[in-house]
């Protein structure tokens, strides 16, 4: 019986496909649409390519020919330079990596626990806490009040925590999690575990989390990209004399105004060496180093982002 229903289903989709062939746009429109999308795709991709090419150009080429898609000569001097300054650039890279990992883990813990509690229909404080996380979506104290609390009261200024804590929880993510738990974790499993005497914490850790990996992975990815790309927290809470705390993005901001930033840094170069600094290409090489992890990984993860968007319509 299942076989017949399957064949009927296939026949039906084939049939629909065949009909959809007739509802397609005309071949001329198809060519026009394709051309438009190829242009748009190049528009999104070519700027990144230009920066990559500049980072691989020789300094001489950039000085004489400017930033160009076709440099006069190629060189990896900028990357060699970055490697040579390994201790400093490496430190910024590790800062970014550490903040991303710790922030993602903390964020996932905060969002999933709250999302789980709000998804339990019998939880007595559920109504109260649903409003509790919803109100900050409508009204916030604004930048100044947050800044004062974080910097002056909590003393987060010039600490790693300033890069992590202010952005590690989000009502949106909690609602996504809650909706996922409500729709995808069967009540029966939880009830039966309860009958077997499991406590809520154990149910959450051993039953709910393992079967919720898709949602955890999706929200985890949101966090990972957000932390890796974050520069505002560094701009707000880090002073320029705390270079050891700088993440990649903030090093890029510092390089924007003065390439000397690298040479001023006592760890970066021995005295007298600064003349060899391939300044123009080094900047672009830094950009590429900070973009590369993202550019290489997002094509594989984008389906999670898409599923995250639809994972249960962000509705309160």
Partner 1 sequence: MNKAETNKPKVVKPKKGDNGGSTGSSFDNVELFLLHLPTTIWYIVFCYAPIFGIIIAFKNFTVAPGRNFLYSLFINSPFTGLQNFRFLFNSSFFSTMIRNTLVYNIIFIILGVIIPVTLAIMINQLYSKRLAKVCQTMMFLPHFLSWVVIGYFVYAFLATDAGLFNRVFVALGVGEPKHDWYGDVPFWRWFLVFLNQWKGMGYGMVVYLASISGIDGELYEAALIDGASKWKQTRYITIPLLRPIMSIMLILAIGSIFRSDFGLFYQATRDSGRLTSLTETIDVHVFKALLVVPNINISSSTSLLQSVCGCIMIVLSNVAVKRIDPDAGLF
* Site for partner 1, residues 199 to 258, rule: CB under 8 A: 199-201, 204, 225, 229-232, 236, 249, 252-253, 256
Kindly tell me which residue out of 85, 95, 104, 130 binds partner 1, with binding defined by CB under 8 A: 130
CA distance readout (Å), 312 to 68, 75, 110, 211, 293: 46, 49, 20, 16, 29
Kindly tell me which residue out of 80, 136, 273, 276 binds partner 1, with binding defined by CB under 8 A: 136
Nearer to partner 1 by C-beta: 82 or 117?
117
Is 14 a binder of partner 1 (CB under 8 A)?
no
Is 186 a binder of partner 1 (CB under 8 A)?
yes
Residues in region 61-100 near partner 1 by CB under 8 A: 62-63, 65-69
Instruction: Choose one: 15-23, 72-80, 85-93, 94-102; the region binding partner 1 (CB under 8 A).
Output: 15-23
Give me the least distance between CB of 116 and partner 1, in Å please.
Answer: 7
Is 102 a binder of partner 1 (CB under 8 A)?
no
Instruction: Choose one: 2-10, 82-90, 96-104, 121-129; the region binding partner 1 (CB under 8 A).
Output: 121-129
Structure tokens at 137: 């979506």
The total number of residues shown for the chain amounts to: 316
Cα torsion at 55, 59, 65, 71 (round to 10°)? -50
Give me the least distance between CB of 78 and partner 1, in Å please.
Answer: 14
Q: At what angle do helices 248-257 and 86-119 cross, to 10 degrees?
A: 130
Nearer to partner 1 by C-beta: 165 or 207?
165
Residue 59 and residue 236 in contact, taking contact as beta carbons nearer than 8 Å? no
Give me the least distance between CB of 47 and partner 1, in Å please.
Answer: 4
Nearest to 213 by CA among 246, 248, 185: 185
Residue 92 to residue 87: CA distance in whole angstroms: 9
Angle formed at CA 104 by CA 146 and CA 168, multiple of 5 degrees: 15
Nearer to partner 1 by C-beta: 114 or 268?
114
CA distance readout (Å), 220 to 71, 177, 223: 40, 11, 5
């Amino acid at each position: 019986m299942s076989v017949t229903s399957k064949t009927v289903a296939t026949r039906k989709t084939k049939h629909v496909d065949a009909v959809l062939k007739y509802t397609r746009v005309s071949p001329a429109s198809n060519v026009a649409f394709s051309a438009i999308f190829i242009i748009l795709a190049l528009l999104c991709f070519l700027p990144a390519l230009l920066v990559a090419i500049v980072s691989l150009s020789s300094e001489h080429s950039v000085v004489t020919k400017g930033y160009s898609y076709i440099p006069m000569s190629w060189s990896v001097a900028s990357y060699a330079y970055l490697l040579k300054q390994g201790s400093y650039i490496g430190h910024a890279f590790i800062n970014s990596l550490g903040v991303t990992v710790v922030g993602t883990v903390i964020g996932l813990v905060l969002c999933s626990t709250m999302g789980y509690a709000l998804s339990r229909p019998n939880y007595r404080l559920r109504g109260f806490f649903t409003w509790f996380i919803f109100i900050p979506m409508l009204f916030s104290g604004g930048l100044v009040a947050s800044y004062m609390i974080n910097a002056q009261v909590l003393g987060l200024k010039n600490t790693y925590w300033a890069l992590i804590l202010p952005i590690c929880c989000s009502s949106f993510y909690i609602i996504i999690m809650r909706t996922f738990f409500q729709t995808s974790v069967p009540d029966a499993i939880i009830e039966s575990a309860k009958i077997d005497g499991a406590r809520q914490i154990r149910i959450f850790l051993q039953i709910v989390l393992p079967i919720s990996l898709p949602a955890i992975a999706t929200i985890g990815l949101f966090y990972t990209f957000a932390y890796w790309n974050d520069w505002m927290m560094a701009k707000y809470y880090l002073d320029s004399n705390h270079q050891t705390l700088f993440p990649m993005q903030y090093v890029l901001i510092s390089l924007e105004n003065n390439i000397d930033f690298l040479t001023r840094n006592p760890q970066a170069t021995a005295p007298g060496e600064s003349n060899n600094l391939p300044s123009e290409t080094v900047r672009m090489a830094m950009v590429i180093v900070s973009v590369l992890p993202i550019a290489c990984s997002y094509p594989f993860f984008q389906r999670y982002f898409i599923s995250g968007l639809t994972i249960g319509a962000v509705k309160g």
